[in-house]
Every structure is written in C-alpha cells, then in structure tokens.
Amino acid sequence: MPTTIIIGTGFSGIAMAHALQQAGVDFLMLERSGEIGGVWRDNVYPGVACDVPAHLYSLSFAPNPGWSRLYAPGPEIQAYLRRVVDDLDLHPHIRLHSEVTEARFEDDGWTVALADGTTLRCTFLVGAVGALKDPSWPAIPHLRDFEGTLTHSSGWDTSCDLTGKQVGVIGTGASAIQIIPAIADQVADLHVFQRTPAWVSPRRDRPYREAEKAVFARSPLRLLAYRLKLYLTLEARFPLLFGRRRWAARTVEAGLRRRIHRYIDDPAKAAALTPDYAAGCKRILVADDYYPAMNRDDVHLHTAPIERATATGLRLGDGSEVRLDALVCATGFTVHDPLGGLRVVGKDGTELADVWGQAPTAYLGLAMPRFPNLFLLLGPNTGLGHNSVVIMAEAQARWTAMVIRRALQEPRPLVEVTPTAMARFVRWVRRTLPNLVWGTGCDAWYTNDAGVNFTIWPGSTLRYLWTLRRVRWRDLHWG
C-alpha cells in the first residue's frame, strides 16, 4: 500500500511527485489515460501553444534552456513533461489506464475505487486532476445532425483534413484564437461564430536564438534571472489590471481597442470584435495573428446567435444559413468541481458533493474539514488570470509534502484543517473577489451557474506564495 496516491500526471501531479520524492515519502500516481500529461496530451488542435511564456510555464525544478519559442507549441510542452517524468524516474510510480471513480475515507486512510473495479488503499490522497479536462460541447439543437466533420478543440480529430473546405469555428476563447489563424490559410472560407468578443493583447512571440539557448544552458543563474523577469512582468498585471485602480485598466483597454482598429479594416467588424466588459473579467488572450486573420476577406464573423444545426451547416437567429463542410467547437471545457466530479466520501459518510453544493471551497484551495489526509492541487479559488498556474501548483505541492511529512511523525498520521481556519479563509475570498475585476460583471467560465466564482485566486501570486511558504500548524489538527 503506497503512503500517498496522486490522481493525475499533468503539471501539478508531477510537481506533487517531486515534492514527495524530496520529502522521502512513497507514492503512486494514477492516470486515467494511456499516457502521462494532462491538457497538453489532450489538446492537439492546430496552433496549440501555451499563452504564458514557456520559461515561466514550466517546473522550477526542471528548467528547460532549450524552449524553442517564447510561447512553446503544445507538442513541445508535452515532450517536456515526458522528459521530466523520465528524469525524475517516475515511471515505476505511475499506473496508466486507471480512472478513479470514488474515494472513501475509512479506517484512517483512503480507499480509492478505479473504473476497472479494483480498489487501492493509501494514507494520504492528493487530487491533481486539473479543471480543464472534459470538452464542453455547445448545447446547439440538432448538432449531431450535422453531416460534415465535427470536432472539438480539446480532443481534436487529427484525421480531419480541412484543406479547401468551408469551415466553421464556434467560440472566440483562448483555444479558438489559436485555431483561427492556424487554419485560415488552409481552408476555403472560415466562418467564426462569436458570442462574446475577447480582449486580445499582443503576444510578441518569437523563436529563441541558438546563442540565447546556449547561454541559458551554460548559466542556470541567467536562466533563473530570465524566469524571474518574466514572472515579475506578469505579476505586475495583477494590481494594474485586476485591482481597484480601474484607471490603469482603462488605459490598457483603450490601447487594446486601438489595436483592433489598427488591424481590422471594416469598422463594423472592428466594433463587433470590441468587448464591452472590463478587461480581465474574462481571461485576457494573447495573439499576434488573430486580428490579421479576422481581417481577411475569406474569414467571416457571425455574431447572430446560433439557432440550430442542420445537415449542411448552421442556421442563425437572423434567419441566415451558413453552409459548412466542417465545424470546430472551440467551446471550452466542462468545469467540474476541483476533483473532476469524482465521488468523494469523507469522515462519517460526509459526501463532498453535499458539502460543496454549488460553491466548492477549501482552505487555501487545498484542504477541507471532515476530509482528513485529502489535498487538492489547483483546488477552489487558486486559478489565475495573469500568471503561470504552474507556480501555484508547485507551492501547493511543497505545502502538502510538508504537512504529510509532519503527519507521518505523529503516532496516528491523520491531519485535518480546522473549521475555524476554513471559515476564515472562505470569508476572505468572498469579501475580496467582488472588489476585484471579477466583481464587475461578465459571463466567464470562472463563475458557475449559481453565480459563484470558485476558480480564481483573488490576490497576487506573491501573496499566495508568501502564505504557503510555511504551514500555519494551528490551522490543522491531528489524530
């Protein structure tokens, strides 16, 4: 029986494995798929790349001097994760094709049930499943009646050839704005179906020169300084864009608005691409090639609501019908609770789904009363809109390893956050969020159907890292 089971082998699962290796605690990693990795294994659409600089969107203990570009392509990130797993010698700890369906706390430990019917036991359980794993298909009537090629950005059908075709893309989020420029040259006409325009800032992507890579490889200190520079640049966006001083955000918005008009010749198209909500309330996207692609005569922007699908295309609310050979749904993910919707039963039969209801909460996004020895990585209210989420996951992994190591020194290794500490943290989140940009009102995936934003960390990452640098032991109780 492993001391700890980690569910997931993406960035956060690997960070947790590394932290446990450092702490000398044994562990098993469960992966539902046949290969390690998370979103970067599943998202293989044309143009897929990170939207945070790769030198920052990587694990601090596994720097990669060889990133090819400022924003590395998806396959390069997946190859990086495979390499880290090799370098850390994690393969003997990984069990593939092992989807967890239920976790139950009993007899001072966790019983983990897998989809294939087997059960496993462990003392500590870490959920590292990530929020963005299951594609969200749009609820368009008769979508399955469409007889052309139908694919989703996450779970892209790599066998589909879009060359010379009439292609539709639903959505203008982070995935869509990468797909649209990547396929615009290849297709005959591209029809973009937009519900809400996004704020799009310049990306200034570029390949790294061989000389730069050589310097990074030779000098870990230079590489670290570069990472720090990237980190501080992004971190400065928090007070400027997301804080209370809206004048700074308004200046940025004015610049982004001008940028739309610089690239888009048709004033009506430019107006349609201009958001009417505060930048940052939905994720600010980064792209250099999106507006040039949208400016093309063969890229058509449709803003009328989609009424229904037909065998040959989409019918829109303005009565028009768009004929399509292929339809790409870049419509995001079904954002579950932070444990991916799996059934979790804590002390005395407490169901996590009942405790969370419409508002998942956890102390520091990490732990909950009545669920001893259970830790969540990238749990409630620890997502970011301005910096690399890998940094948050690493801080959480280090904190969790500190707690597990200390718990293992107790006669009875059982640790649980106190209700008082939990209530204090949740009060702070609920008080803080409405005063930030997310309180200005917009319909983002950060907020669930009940209007609860359980995804975003309402502070700077510096604040989170500072809080997690040590464990406040009085917030936990033992045995």
Binding string to ligand NAP for residues 289 to 328, with x set by CB under 6 A, is what?
A: -----------------x----------------------
Minimum distance from CB of 394 to ligand NAP (Å)?
Answer: 17
Minimum distance from CB of 131 to ligand NAP (Å)?
Answer: 9
171 touching ligand NAP, by CB under 6 A: yes
Count of C-beta atoms within a 10 Å radius of residue 478: 15
Residues 209-268 contacting ligand NAP, CB under 6 A: none
Minimum distance from CB of 472 to ligand NAP (Å)?
Answer: 30
| Element housing 120 (H / E) | strand 119-122
**112 or 287, CB closer to ligand NAP?**
287
> 343 is written with which tokens?
């059934």
**What's the rounded Cα separation, in Å, for the pair 20 and 24?**
6
Question: Which stretch in 117-125, 166-174, 248-256, 417-425 sits in contact with ligand NAP by CB under 6 A?
Answer: 166-174
Question: Which stretch in 165-173, 271-279, 290-298, 354-362 sits in contact with ligand NAP by CB under 6 A?
Answer: 165-173
The correct pick among 9, 58, 175, 361 for binding ligand NAP (CB under 6 A) is 175
> 435 is written with which tokens?
């005063």
Secondary structure of residue 248 in the 3-state scheme: helix
**143 or 402, CB closer to ligand NAP?**
143
Residues 450-479 contacting ligand NAP, CB under 6 A: none
153 touching ligand NAP, by CB under 6 A: yes
387 touching ligand NAP, by CB under 6 A: no
176 touching ligand NAP, by CB under 6 A: yes
- Direct distance between the N- and C-terminal alpha carbons of the chain, in angstroms, rounded to an integer: 20
Question: Which stretch in 10-18, 45-53, 311-319, 470-478 sits in contact with ligand NAP by CB under 6 A?
Answer: 45-53
**What's the rounded Cα separation, in Å, for the pair 134 and 154?**
8
172 touching ligand NAP, by CB under 6 A: yes
Q: Are 170 and 329 in contact (CB under 8 A)?
A: yes
> 103 is written with which tokens?
């976790």
Judged on CB neighbours under 10 Å (0-12, 13-18, 19+), 91 is exposed
Q: Are 301 and 193 in contact (CB under 8 A)?
A: no
Per-residue b/e over 420-435, b at no fewer than 16 CB within 10 Å? Answer: ebbeebbeebeeebee
132 touching ligand NAP, by CB under 6 A: yes
Beta bridge pairs of residue 166? 189
The correct pick among 13, 53, 148, 173 for binding ligand NAP (CB under 6 A) is 173
152 touching ligand NAP, by CB under 6 A: no
The correct pick among 196, 418, 432, 467 for binding ligand NAP (CB under 6 A) is 196
- Whose CB is nearest to ligand NAP? 173
Closest CA to 4 of 24, 12, 331, 391: 24
Minimum distance from CB of 58 to ligand NAP (Å)?
Answer: 13
332 touching ligand NAP, by CB under 6 A: yes
Q: Tokens 């446990």 — which residue?
A: 20
Side chain identity, residue 7: I
Q: Tokens 């739309």 — which residue?
A: 260
> 251 is written with which tokens?
């200046």
Residues 392-431 contacting ligand NAP, CB under 6 A: none
Residues 50-79 contacting ligand NAP, CB under 6 A: 50-51
201 touching ligand NAP, by CB under 6 A: no
Count of C-beta atoms within a 10 Å radius of residue 343: 14
Number of chain residues interacting with ligand NAP (CB under 6 A)? 26
Q: Tokens 């940028």 — which residue?
A: 259
Q: Are 318 and 157 in contact (CB under 8 A)?
A: no
Q: Under the rule (CB under 6 A), what is the footprint of ligand NAP?
A: 49-51, 132, 138-140, 153, 170-176, 193, 195-196, 283, 306, 330-333, 443, 445
